[in-house]
Structure 1
Amino acid sequence: MKFKSEKELLEYTKDIEGKTFKEIDSQHLLDTANLRRAKGLLGHVVESGFYKYPLNNDSHADFEELDIELKVTGYVKNKNGSLRAKERLVLSKIDYNQIVNETFESSHVLGKCKKMLIIWYEYDSNKEAKDFLITHYQLYDMENDLKVFNNDFEIIKNKVLDGKAHELSEGDTSYLGACTKARTSSDRTTQPFSDILSKPRAYSLKNAYMTGILREHINSKVITLNKYNTVEEYVKDKLRPYFGKTQVEILEKIDGRKYSEKIPKNISKMISDELIGKDTELPEKDEIFSKTSFIIKNLPIKENGKPIERMSFKTISLSDFEEEWEDSFWKNYFEETTLITICYQAVNNSKNGFRVLKNVKKISFDEYDLDEFKKTYDQIKLAIEKEDINLLPTSANGFKNQLLEIAPKGVKGDNAYENFFKNDKTKVSFMISKRLLIDKLSDE
């Protein structure tokens, strides 16, 4: 089936809304498919069953006459009723030997994926794939976020140019990820400026970005251009006038009150909320926040740059550990999330309130980190299955060279470990070990 215009394509596509994959599977591709295998077949069902295109693996766009690629992907409904993308959208393989000679404008990823027709379905783990309901379609144009994509492409390319393809991380970039793309965990490939073999990777639209464009579409939000390419860029811009000043000096300057006699325990958070914005306010401050997975953290550091304390995350839930690591919420979280760390330096062992705003560091996690995090995840999963508190990977009860620990997050007397198995929502959180933080903060 050929379409003469985008309008004609979209008019035809209207009829796909409200249908299940079973209703359009004219080639019976899903008759014997399980959920895992069906993931790659749903696009073929739409292509062959709805648009009547022969299945193919050529490099041209699916709607070649319009230079539009077809993508089929799922979303899930959160408990509060909001929607989020189920997963990243994989685009095309990264050729390490080719990317070093490309510009973003000449790249394969832009050539094939600049404009896409995205078919959205609601994923439900209690249903068979054939019964998933198709609810939305969206004509996506990368042009709306081209400045950020260009910056992301250059970050990926420069890492390959530096001979560090093996250190690529999805947390390096804002929208365009470099996700692993291998048949097995041991697959490796060559890179041009290093003898170290690297995991094969593909360009992808990151999970948070997919969630952002889905919500924009459903809410008919007016798309605005990004002022900033990264969250790090935004944070540095807001803090720039205050580098070298103490926490008290900064807070007194921005709210006009005196704090030197009584220092608020959360003074760093008060500064961040005022200068950068509260977490709930950030998506309104710049488009970059509504389409990225980020955490802004305040961290006290010693005069030598080493952290004074560990870094915590949100509390964990027992239900987070129902899936294997590869399909888990936490793997995706650590894989895609960028930590923007605001460092306050304790000069001459100065106490909280009198530490100096030193710098802003971006932290992301590479494949080695994720492999180590998996050990912690698996240990917690085992502890939950056996309901054995002694198996929990705490700092005192962990394993050798542990990079990710768990620790209570709450008030004293909560008995967080003793009550760990009693409720889904625990009072325990992940903590990055000081050893890993030292390593990340020393990276330039």
Structure 2
Amino acid sequence: MRGHFFHKKDLEKILDNILNKTLGEVDANHVFNKTLSNPKVTGIAGDVIEQSVLGYPADNIQRPDLNVDGIDTELKTTGIRQSKHEPDKYEAKEPMSITAVSPKHIVLECFDSSKFWHKLKHMLLVYYHYASNKTVKAAEYADFYIRGYEFHEFDDIDVSRLRSDWEIVHNFIVEIQQNYDIPESQYPRMSSELRDKLVYIDTAPKWPNPPRFRLKRKVVTDIVQSHFGDKLEQLPGSYKCYRDVDNMCHDITIKDKGMTIEQLLLKYNIKVKDVNRVSKSVNEAIVVKMFGGKSKKMNQIELFDRFGLVGKSITTTKIGSRTEDTKLIPIDFEEWMDREVSFEESRLYDYFANHQLLCMMFEEPSINSPLYENKFLGFKRLSFSDEFIHNEVEKIWNEVRMLIMEKRLVETWVYDKKGKPIINKKTNTQKTSINFPKSKNNIVFVRGSGLDASVKTEEVNGIKMYKQYVWIKGLYIVDVLSNVQML
């Protein structure tokens, strides 16, 4: 059965007419009325576009929604929000659900004829601005503006990555069905065992709930930002899976192992004002150059952004000890204080579940040696296990939320061992401490970061503070990486 037929030029006229109008303004068929009896109904934005804008009823048939001039086209109404870190850019509100993961059917499919690819091959994406930092009830979607639309088709690079991901899931299920008398007993392994192997997609929710294929939020964000004019640098070469990245890292290591940071800066023609004062942030620029790029930051590179690879410099001594802890992501307190947001819906979970650390390994000659003398050893890639995420990361999420929600957040003066106040030299003010989870008792912990004690941009429960970040203990990183093979 084919989808609802439209000419592309007619669709464009319809959608052009609703741009910069709210979902409520275009709701000619009063779809929002159902929110009166069901205030938490899901999918209300998509229902409005389908039923009030395009004029056809919703259905659950596993085929693309539309037929556009003879081409089956999947309609996706997608929420976008302003980025916390780059307010002039949009990001995806959430991952994009595609279709069910059906073990009985997927084993009989190949990628090109699969329901998964049939849904993704041609898409019509309609973007609405989720203009709230907190979870809202369905009725409030009526105030959200429609900001854009696009007929989206993946390019050859994207298709190769989607194919690789789908085949990983397909082969995993085939292997289970071939090797186990009761394959259902093994399906719960799928989400956790494949998570660090899949580039563009994940499977959620977890068994025993029927999982669906989803495009990861970072992939949807890149599609959104590309549509609104933000382009990432494309590296030379072809990378369809993590193994391709690992192979490139291996080739780089063969060429550059043993070189100091100073030598690498010269080799890759990276200009610095004073090599004696160079900071570790220059290592990101080195990695980009090693891969053939021109940008200074890894998050400006399509490969690293799409693959969720976060660059981190790991410096050890000759005996393997770590010099410092690792700062990861800033805390979005508005989200952390939103009671409607679960841990697995949070940006914190998304970071640990869908990002991996591409660790550039260095060795320092001595504890007092300058940074530019550190020697490059190679790369290691680190992903976070489900056990770690739920035992260490979720614990911090819950502790911080309880401190804030129960009004138990406290700021105290800091004293030295002799009981004397510790003074910030720049501002001549006494240092304070906030009772967030500290590194003393946690592998994952919270710590503020700022250059001037008089400039505290964050305020929580009436307490002014530095921007707060989630950190991970350096000794833990070294311990885990000791069991990870150099690429």
- Which TM-score band (shorter chain)? 0.7 to 0.9
Residue 217 (str. 1) matches residue 237 (str. 2): no
Residue 364 (str. 1) matches residue 389 (str. 2): no
Deviates further, 303-312 or 117-126 = 303-312
Judge conservation of contact 2:80–2:92 (CA < 8 Å) in 1: yes
* Cα shift readout 1:201-249 (whole Å, capped 9, x = no counterpart): 4322222222222222232979979844268729726665213434444
Deviation, 1:7, is: 3.8
Letter aligned with residue 11 of structure 2: L
Quick one: structure 1 residues 150 and 56, their matched pair in 2 at CA, closer, same or farther if it must change by over 3 Å? same
Matches within 5 A, 1:138-217: 138-144=150-156, 145-157=158-170, 161=175, 165-168=190-193, 172-174=197-199, 176-181=200-205, 188-189=207-208, 201-217=211-227
Judge conservation of contact 1:301–1:344 (CA < 8 Å) in 2: yes
The match for 2:8 is: 6
The match for 1:193 is: none
The match for 2:264 is: 250
Residue 241 (str. 1) matches residue 243 (str. 2): no
* Cα shift readout 1:375-431 (whole Å, capped 9, x = no counterpart): 1012112223422357421122x3xxx441223545698999x99876676254222
Residue 297 (str. 1) matches residue 312 (str. 2): yes
Quick one: structure 1 residues 129 and 428, their matched pair in 2 at CA, closer, same or farther if it must change by over 3 Å? closer
Deviation, 1:105, is: 2.4
1:296 aligns to what SS in structure 2? strand
Aligned-pair Cα RMSD in Å: 4.3
The match for 2:428 is: none
Judge conservation of contact 1:306–1:441 (CA < 8 Å) in 2: no
1:438 aligns to what SS in structure 2? helix
Deviation, 1:5, is: 4.1
Deviation, 1:272, is: 3.8
Residue 394 (str. 1) matches residue 438 (str. 2): yes
Higher Rg of the two aligned structures: 2
Letter aligned with residue 165 of structure 2: D
Deviation, 1:257, is: 10
The match for 2:98 is: 91
Quick one: structure 1 residues 85 and 377, their matched pair in 2 at CA, closer, same or farther if it must change by over 3 Å? same
Judge conservation of contact 2:63–2:118 (CA < 8 Å) in 1: no
The match for 2:183 is: none
1:341 to 359, 362, 369: 359
Separation (CA, whole Å) in 1 of partners of 2:105 and 2:364? 46
Judge conservation of contact 1:300–1:346 (CA < 8 Å) in 2: yes
1:87 aligns to what SS in structure 2? coil
* Cα shift readout 1:71-127 (whole Å, capped 9, x = no counterpart): 111111246332222111111233456556654324331122211111111112378
* Cα shift readout 1:321-361 (whole Å, capped 9, x = no counterpart): 22243443322332322321112246899965555433322
Deviation, 1:50, is: 2.1
Letter aligned with residue 45 of structure 2: L
1:295 aligns to what SS in structure 2? strand
Separation (CA, whole Å) in 2 of partners of 1:89 and 1:354? 46
1:59 aligns to what SS in structure 2? coil
Separation (CA, whole Å) in 2 of partners of 1:442 and 1:200? 34
2:395 to 366, 375, 395: 375
Q: TM-score, normalising length from structure 2?
A: 0.71
Letter aligned with residue 173 of structure 1: L
1:219 aligns to what SS in structure 2? coil
Letter aligned with residue 131 of structure 1: D
Separation (CA, whole Å) in 2 of partners of 1:412 and 1:13? 49
The aligned length equals 423
Separation (CA, whole Å) in 1 of partners of 2:6 and 2:123? 16
1:68 aligns to what SS in structure 2? strand
Letter aligned with residue 201 of structure 2: G
Q: Which runs of 5+ in 1 are unaligned?
A: 183-187, 190-198
Separation (CA, whole Å) in 2 of partners of 1:307 and 1:316? 25
Quick one: structure 1 residues 46 and 316, their matched pair in 2 at CA, closer, same or farther if it must change by over 3 Å? closer
Letter aligned with residue 141 of structure 1: E
Judge conservation of contact 2:74–2:123 (CA < 8 Å) in 1: yes
Deviates further, 58-67 or 8-17 = 8-17
Judge conservation of contact 1:73–1:118 (CA < 8 Å) in 2: yes
The match for 1:48 is: 51
